[in-house]
Amino acid sequence: MPDSSQRPPRLILASSSPYRRELLERLRAPFDVAVPAVDETPLTGESPEATALRLAQAKARAVAAGLSGGERALVIGSDQVATYDGQQIGKPGTHEKALAQLQDMRGREVLFHSGLCLLDSHSGDAQCVDVVTRVRFRNLPDAALDAYLRTETPYDCAGSAKAEGLGIALLDAIESDDPTALIGLPLIALTRMLLAAGYPLLEAR
């Protein structure tokens, strides 16, 4: 039997998001999914960056707290906050709220803060980063926005548009150092963290 001390640490994605799960699968490393119980309400006066980072770390720590003490795990927490004109934009939840979001954002630049945290369950050490994506929305008429929403129903996405799908047609430009950050999980930042934590991402497993 292989020595358990030589095995890679267990990877756990602390998220209910199917988008983050699909992105993490690109790394071809085995992982588990655990849904953290975290209140995602922003704190009074909290900046979008601070909200994204706080919630990413809170999600990772909530899942790590439920693990048994024997096994080392690397827990991935992530959260995304969209903002323009100093106000935070959450997940719309309904068609009416999503349409109102898209109407407000058309022709504007919106910043998406993707908070990412990799937590070592043994040491408690956390690597955290905020990856910022600048998105410029096209100035489209109400009918086009309504048709998009009814086609893709992106009511669980901050900003009401899925850039990995038809929502790309609503966008005029995307600027980011990490191309998957807008979808929900910055993979360039995550792979940097995994390698720093000693995870054998590019070795035979």
Two structure tokens written together for 201: 């991402």
Indicate the pTM of the whole model. Answer: 0.89
Q: What SS3 string covers 74-120?
A: EEEEEEEEEEECCEEECCCCCHHHHHHHHHHHCCCEEEEEEEEEEEE
Residue 205 is predicted with a pLDDT of 54
- Identify the top-confidence range among 2-16, 59-73, 180-194: 180-194
Residue 172 is predicted with a pLDDT of 97
Angle of helix 142-152 versus helix 95-105 axis, rounded to 10: 130
Residue 204 is predicted with a pLDDT of 57
Residue tagged 């953290």 (tokens): 36
Which of these CATH numbers, 3.40.1390.20, 3.90.950.10, 3.40.50.720, 3.40.50.300, describes 4-196? 3.90.950.10
Q: What is the pLDDT of residues 103-136, one digit of tens each?
A: 999 999 999 999 999 999 999 999 999 999 999 9
Rg (CA), the chain: 18
Question: By percentage, how much of the chain surpasses pLDDT 70?
Answer: 96
Q: What is the pLDDT of residues 68-87, one digit of tens each?
A: 777 789 999 999 999 988 78
Question: CB under 8 Å to 171, separation ≥6 — which residues?
Answer: 135, 136, 137, 138, 161, 163
Backbone angles phi, psi at 169, to 5 degrees: -70, -15
Distance CA 10, CA 134 (A): 33
Q: Reply yes or no on whether the pLDDT at 170 is more than 90.
A: yes
Q: What is the arithmetic mean of pLDDT over 149-177?
A: 93
Kindly list the catalytic residues.
Answer: 79
